[in-house]
Amino acid sequence: MDPAAAKYIGAGLATLGMIGAGVGVGTIFSGFLQGATRNPSAAGGQFTNLILGAALTEALGILAFVLGLLILFS
Amino acid sequence: MADPMHQFEIHKIVDLPDITLPVVGTIDMAFTNSTLAMTLAAGLIVAFMTAVTANPQVVPGRLQVIGEGIFNYIDNLAAGIIGHEGRKFFPFVFTIFLFVLVMNFLGLFLVFTATSQLAVTATLAVLTMGLVLAVGFARNGLGFFKLFVPSGVPWYMLILVTPIEVISFLLRPVTLALRLFGNMLGGHVAMKVFAGFVVSLGALAAGGGLGLLGIPGAMLSLGGVVALTALEFLVAFLQAFVFAVLACVYLNDVVNLGHHH
């Protein structure tokens, strides 16, 4: 296979790691919304934890994105 | 189509002579557009805070409410996560938050985003983790290593848990830097790619004939750019907030080591 083509395919495949991050962030927000609709008075106090969980999960998706960039530009 | 990565290039504005340090090696001291963006951000923060506190009133005016609001928000955040000792670390968290926030917002108004440079975000992350290490060793001494040995875990599980804790601690500065960098880079590339669609589809339509079909596509892309810009404003705030929250969480780990408040 042409090395340049393989590079682009590899970069594309590397971004598939974002699927996991997408599922994870979706799970976090769905869990938050379920809890928040059941007990709205407790929802405000959990905002920081919500953002924290989303950020920590999202970092793994960002790692996949950076890996894709590394394959593409190195 | 224009290269979407072009916006991240560093240009020298004023070329200053190189400095050679004994251990580090030669350092290019040139004043670049990245330096300019950061200087502008720092200057804006100082100017804003000076304007806010210049004429304090018991009943605050509009400007003072904004300043006090931001101050109070981060103060509550630090106190909420670190506890009553959060006040000591509030200046650091507040500075990091404002600096990242203003750099993110300047990137949306000007052509260059300082936080889309890995060197900038890595410096901020190393600064944060350096403070965590310094505070951890200063307060707990060698007890700092209890961070890697969670209490209440049976010894045979520690064989598994301790390496994981060590690896996760070592990955903290990496993810801290990459999260901000990746979000800013990804968002701005997506915006420029959609903006490039508008131009190239418009050029196709200017050719006439079947190319006129490009007009709806160009309009759709323009709407996409507007929507992405709005999303980027949210991301710009959220990433600064996340950076501040994580700095607080990491500081809390070493400040309240071994006892949860």
- Domain ranges in chain A? 11-73
Q: Tell me if B128 is assigned to some domain.
A: yes
> ipTM of this model?
0.79
Q: Tell me if B76 is assigned to some domain.
A: yes
Segments in B32-117 forming alpha helices (H): 33-53, 62-82, 86-109
Asked whether residue A22 carries a pLDDT value surpassing 60, the answer given is yes
Class of domain A11-73: mainly alpha
Q: How confident is the model at residue B259 (pLDDT cuts 50, 70, 90)?
A: low
Q: Tell me if B1 is assigned to some domain.
A: no
Give chain B's radius of gyration (CA, Å): 23
Report the predicted TM-score, pTM, of the whole model to 2 decimal places. Answer: 0.87
Q: Tell me if B80 is assigned to some domain.
A: yes
On whether any CB of chain A is under 8 Å from the CB of B175, the answer is: yes
Closest CA to B84 of B245, B255, B258, B250: B255
Distance from C-alpha of A50 to C-alpha of A43, rounded to nearest angstrom? 10
Q: Tell me if B203 is assigned to some domain.
A: yes
Burial of A16 (0-12, 13-18, 19+ CB in 10 A): exposed
On whether any CB of chain B is under 8 Å from the CB of A59, the answer is: yes
Q: How confident is the model at residue A63 (pLDDT cuts 50, 70, 90)?
A: confident
What tens digit of pLDDT does each residue of B14-57 get? Answer: 888 877 888 777 888 888 888 999 999 999 999 999 998 888 88
Q: Tell me if B260 is assigned to some domain.
A: no
Q: Which chain A residues have a beta carbon less than 8 Å from that of B186?
A: 62, 65
Q: Tell me if B173 is assigned to some domain.
A: yes
Q: Tell me if B231 is assigned to some domain.
A: yes
On whether any CB of chain A is under 8 Å from the CB of B130, the answer is: no
- Please state, rounded to an integer, the average pLDDT across all residues of chain B: 88
Which residues span the domain enclosing B90? 6-255
- Please state the domain count of chain B: 1
